[in-house]
Structure 1
Amino acid sequence: MRRGPTGGVEVEVSRVGPDGVVTWGDDVSRAGGGSMEKEADGKFSLRLFSVHPADAGLYRCAVSVYAGRLTPGPSSPATITQRSEWVTVSLKTDDVRVSASVDLPRRPLLRRGSTITMLCNVSVETSASSQVEVQWLQKPKEPARKDVTFSEDATAQLIATLSYDGLTRIYSNASDLSVDRVSETSYRLRIFSAREEDQGHYQCQAEVWLQDPRGGWYNTGSRAESETVHLYLYARVADLLLIPLVVGVSSALFVGVLIIATVTCCFMKRLARQRSRIRK
């Protein structure tokens, strides 16, 4: 049995049944491989290979006795079960340092309908082989309180992820997005045909994954959050020309109507004077 370093839910790591068959009940332990053996009467050993930080925590064993039954079934209740005291398993992990910064190029002028590009620059310092998982978040409004960080703010939304193995996940149902890795330390987010709803604050988060001796990858728990950048979209040139166009057309119509009305009025007055002379 195992618990996390700070306690929590107890999970079963491995079990050897009365028939000697070993079963694994925890996916984390099975991912790194392991063995459970009977070394002597009353003595069993558990070995975990290529341990990860997630394997650290509190461990204990539980022994169940099925009196009067040579082959108890899986659902058979034990006559008695005894549990040992907890022992602490600590792991020394590789030192990992990671930092992240986000860059929003503002040239040319960012306009609605254009493609917006943001870069997340990640720096990792470690002696082991590493990969980085990058997440992009958007927050349309300022945090309600100044002491609330971007990731803690309830309005912050995860919009895209590029996993350590290159798998892309898009969580936004609004504008078309894409994420990719453009260099060893730079990760890109692109927003196509940007709309007004895409405005707001953006941030990238980086998590470091290391490779174990067996070739598997595991999350080290080391992560970094960038500062936020604000995306503001200017109106398109067509939108800017629409206002003077409307004003110009309206002014032209007004002047035209005024001229026609003036000419018509003068013509009617002149016609009325001519009729008055003829009658005299």
Structure 2
Amino acid sequence: MTVRSLRAELFALRRRPAVWIVAAGWTVQIICFVYLITYLVYRAVAAQPEGSGSDSGPILADLLPASADHTIVGALPIWGGPVMLVLGALIAGGDQRWGTLRTVLARFADRTSFLLGRFLALALLLLALSVLTLAVSAASSVAVALVEGAAIRWPGPDRFLLALGSIWLICTAWGMVGFVLALATRSLTAAVGAGLLWTLLVENAVTGLGGLVPLLGAVRTVQLSTSSGSVAAALGASGDGFGVAAVTSGPVAAGVLAGYVVLALLAALVIFRRRDLA
């Protein structure tokens, strides 16, 4: 039954315009915000007179293929995570918004199998987006290298695989949170609003005050955005403007993100099994 639900959801996802729009929008964000704008900053710094104290070397190094694995991971806490949260909410809230959930669920005798299939479909979709993310980052870094006449040197396969796993984990954690929020609120707008308000405003406020209030310092170690930034920092990502900071170690942060995935699944199962669809 779970496999049947998975196949049905994958079939539906391929035909949802929102999925393709989100993927295209995220691709544009990578090219523009992660690479193009950073490259323009590099050119501005490089154009300053010698002796001004500005060093453009580290900026360029982050844009070259040798850094393609960790540069894009560093963009996820601020740019990519919220996109995946919106995507998860879209997938869970679409049937609620269109009023088709009762009709779809009538074809499945077990709600648990139905929801597990949807979760697996979202996880596979996020894996595909993770591969796309790494590919776009690599292509953008090659473009920068060609423009600058720099040598094209790649990280080892192990670093690419580690980056892909990290991207998938971060995207899955954010996406599953959006999924369960849409399921709990029965509203796409409420889920997206609550998710972005918490992760972008409340968590940032807690992070800023964490050094002053001991309790908040403990809370920030289990935050979604903070854990994403710690994973990126563990891979060597720069923290300039992307919310990257080694608040916890890489393994601890990865464990927190995995915990978000598990808790989101359990919460979704409890909500969905007990809910009246009327």
Band of TM-score, shorter chain: under 0.3
**Bigger share in helix:** 2
TM-score by length of 1: 0.23
Look at both structures and tell me which one has the larger radius of gyration over its CA atoms. 1
TM-score by length of 2: 0.24
Give the structure, 1 or 2, with the largest relative contact order (CA under 8 Å, sep 6 or more): 2
